[in-house]
Structure formats: C-alpha cells, structure tokens
Structure 1
C-alpha cells in the first residue's frame, strides 16, 4: 500500500556518505522534529534526473529553506558511493543525498517501480513530499516527467 498524506514515515535504515565512508542513518532521525522536502528519483546519473530534477532543487535550495524547511533530501535506489558522486557532480552540497541501496525505503513507502525490462531492476518511483516531524503533508507522484515533483512545484506548495 502506498503511503498517504497524514501517514507517518516508516523508520528505515539507509546510508549517506560521511567523511570516512558510508554511514548508516535512520529515517526517524532525518525526519523527526524537522520540516523536510524529500524527493526521489529512479536513478542517479539518469537523463531527466541529472538534467532537470536534482538541478532544480540545487538552484532553489535557498528559496526552499527560506520557507522554513530544515532539510532537502534526495533519495534513489543507488548506493552511497553513487549518490555521493552524483551530488558532487551536480554541486548539490546543500542537499542530503540519501542512498536506498536495497530499495527498503521505497518499498516501505509503497513507491517502487519495476524497471527490470530496462535492466535497471526495482527502482523508486519519482515522487516528492513535504514532511513535518515525520508526517507526510504533501505527496506528489510523477509517472512521467516532472509535472508535480519539481523544485518549483514544491516551492509553490510550501
């Protein structure tokens, strides 16, 4: 079942890149007591994700934070090394690049998609959320394109 507005995020262990390598983090720690914009992409370094989705958040990070957002988090079913390299290549220093290497978070949210026909395996759907103290306040899912999950759309909703 897909997570809904009003639901509390599941507590899942994921990874971010730390100074000494991948570090484990819990979603409860990332989202608890904070207002967070979370967006997910099907894959790091993929065309739409690299050309438009992540760059939009990089460009608008200050405007989003000015709306009272504590953190902006990008997640994908990729490992911490890939997410870190992608973030660096996109100058996403102000965005937490959250690795969901096994797809546990996407699965727990009910937001996976099967890309095995394209040799990509099980991936996250493209979605964006506004989360307040671990509770989903806004959930937008895009099956194609960036109509409802762009930085501009989230900025307007804040």
Structure 2
C-alpha cells in the first residue's frame, strides 16, 4: 500500500544528473533546503500521459506557481540523466527541473517504487505530486491504486488549488500557422505584445497538413487563433478581438 508521508522529511538521496557533457551529483539538500518546491513524479519520460498532459501543464503554470511562492518545480522519474535531458529538450519545458532517479532509490525510500514488469518497464515511480517546504513534505497527492496508470489528483491544477485556490490562471491560447506566413507572424507579434503566451501548431510539422487545419478549425487559411477554446479567427479578427477586450 502506498503511504502518505506528509509531515516527514524527504529521503536523503544523491541523484546522478547530467549538465552538458558532465556528470553532476545533486543531493536532496541541494534541491529542497530553504526552498518551497513542487515535485511531480511519473512513470516514465516520453510516455503518453506524462508527455501530453502531466508535464506540459506544470510547465505552462510555472509562472503562476512562482507568483504564489514556489521556488522550483521538479519532475522526477526512474529514468537516467540522458533520457531525462532528451525528454526536457523534446518538450521544451524550460520552467521545469528534471531529476533522474535512475536507480529508483528516492522512489523506493518514498514508498512509491512499483513494479511495471507487465509493460516491460521494470521498477518505476508511482504517479504523485507533493509540496515540499525546506525539506519537509507538507502535502501529497497520490494517484489511487488502480490498474493501469491513473491520473486524477497529481496534476498541476490540483496542486495550484491547494496552494492558492484563487490564483489567477493564464488564458489558454493556440495558434495554427504555416512557415513563411506574414499574417501568422503579425498575429504572433500581437499576441506577445498583449502579454499572451501561446501554443503554436505549425502546418508541415510532424505530418500536420491543411487537411488537419480544415478538420480542426473548419477553415483553410492561416493563422487560426483560439483563446480558451473559442475560435477568434485570422490575424484581422485577432486584432479586432484584442481591441475589443483591451
């Protein structure tokens, strides 16, 4: 049975990390002493839920966590430093610190090391998140012990609600673009000038095509801008929307 360790100190472990082309030992004191830190642990780098939802939302909300007193957000997995660094680069998650628990020592001492031999993974971390203040675990959100890979409580929004239920969230903005499109460049510039961070989906990248654009947006031209799920439209429509909401 997975144990909630609220009120306890984090285990003393030395992690073998990679910085550039060199090994660097990082201790739990280095990570947690004198700081407010959010940790989210997951089964593996490059795996579907971890890559599509768990990690990206923490990265997206990192500025909000910082504004609410969090010094650092750590992603921890039972993977080696090479894999974790490659995943960080693939995800472009510059707001997150990736820590490899390569031997599973930290996960085991946390009581969160589980067997995933049925998937060919071997020992891995159970999915959970925790708030650590000066090395002491204040709060843990542990996924329920169910078959598969449950993802119900260790998400970024749940943790942020615990820290500050009234925290102001950034609007979710997505823009469909194509290379060399001047209207796309103008739309992105106007979004940045207005203080919006956005997800860019570029046609021609990873098999995305005009068929994709038409299927998702119902339109055949770029850019196409969505804010909080609402289709704003192209660059001219975005300009009008920004003026109306200023």
TM-score, normalised relative to structure 1: 0.95
- Residue of structure 1 in register with 2:199 after alignment: none
Partner of 1:26: 27
Aligned residues: 158
Structure with higher Rg: it is 2
Q: What's the counterpart of residue 77 of structure 1?
A: 78
Q: What is the aligned partner in structure 2 of residue 61 from structure 1? A: 62
TM-score (norm 2): 0.62
Separation in 1, partners of 2:38, 2:23: 22
Aligned partner of 1:50 in structure 2 is 51
Contact 2:4 2:142 in 1 (8 A): no
Q: Secondary structure at the match of 1:14?
A: strand
Compute the displacement of 1:16 (Å): 2.7
The 4+ residue runs of structure 1 with deviation greater than 2 A are 19-22, 143-146
User: 2:152 maps to what in 1?
Assistant: 147
1:2-151 to structure 2, matched below 5 A, reads 2=3, 4-143=5-144, 144-151=149-156
**More relative contact order, 1 or 2 (CA 8 Å, 6+ apart):** 1
Q: Post-superposition shift, 1:119?
A: 0.8
Moved more, 33-42 or 134-143: 134-143
Q: Is the 8 A contact 1:75 1:98 kept in 2?
A: yes
